[in-house]
Structure 1
């Protein structure tokens, strides 16, 4: 059975109400509650508005893209963030809500997004006090860069599986 999660900086959410998606590519959806499975949970283990480029190798990834984007990395996943966010990441406390699997369905296989059009009561919430440590436990390479804009463009045009999150805030 799949487990579904939602990350927030708010430790006191009792009920998740469906709301309009913020990302432009999902604005045609009805109001929903977003969730992610454990496999790609690391994409959200950062402060909410932290822009990030996340990617991993999929079955369609070319050898050239594998070499170019992963090089000698042994990580399964790469998450790139802007160096200006380092202090906020180090100081962040975030909360991982676990949801019951009922009523969720897959929206985006590559990004791992699941949605529910119904109100969701979390099963439990766990604080995460060290987000960098939590990512490293998941075989994630966390990269700090002066800017992630050109990387986002390159990843978007590649054969990798990826998610570009909060890019509105990228410099």
Structure 2
């Protein structure tokens, strides 16, 4: 599930949203109110239940072959996501929806998101994202399931890979 040209996506477990209104999220690190969405490259970051902690890594300019092979795995493509076993049932059973939104209403926020400062109406009804495990497989993204995310996360952060961590506060405590 990726946006088509001229679109960005907002993922939600709520299939009843008819209008997205800018707001300041409870976990926001900035005071401005936004409607949040993602582009083609960052859409896979949200192929998870909302509160699922996940660490993600992918190759970028400057990534060494050693780091790619060590963290993503030799012959395993250019991207890997890691989650904890405790979330696997939820990942397999969640009903996740994608809302297609007009890209013209959004501007880039840092490197990871698109934001709008005015209300935005979806281009149509939400679409079921479907089986999240199959989505990862079809996209060629490795999905690693671990007892605890922190070892993976520490390795990624000290590597030459690009990375993102979402909802890490929901991960199991460090061992």
TM-score after normalising by structure 1: 0.90
Label 1:86 to 1:6 Cα distance change in 2 as closer, same or farther (>3 A).
same
| Cα distance in 2 between the residues matched to 1:151 and 1:2 | 35
Deviation of 1:22 after TM superposition, in Å, equals 4.6
Unpaired runs of at least 5, structure 1:
none
Query: Matched residues in 2 for 1:108 and 1:155: separation?
Result: 20
Alpha-carbon spacing, 1:69–1:2, altered in 2? closer, same or farther (3 Å): farther
Q: CA deviation at 1:78?
A: 0.7
Map Cα deviations across residues 49-77 of structure 1 (whole Å, 9 max, x no partner).
00000110001223332232123142232
**Equivalents in 2 of 1:73, 1:143: separation in Å?**
15
Aligned length: 167
| The structure with more strand, counted as a fraction of residues | 1
Structure 1 Cα separation of the partners of residues 64 and 108 of structure 2: 25
Aligned equivalent of 1:80, options 75, 79, 82: 82
5 Å-filtered alignment, 1:17-36, equals 17-23=21-27, 27-36=29-38
**Pairwise mapping of residues 100-115 of structure 1 onto structure 2 (< 5 A)?**
100-109=102-111, 112-115=112-115
Give the TM-score taking structure 2 as reference length.
0.88
The answer for the alignment partner of 1:122 in structure 2 is: 122
Q: Report 1:8-157 matches (<5 A).
A: 8-23=12-27, 27-109=29-111, 112-124=112-124, 125-157=126-158
Partner SS state of residue 152, structure 2: helix
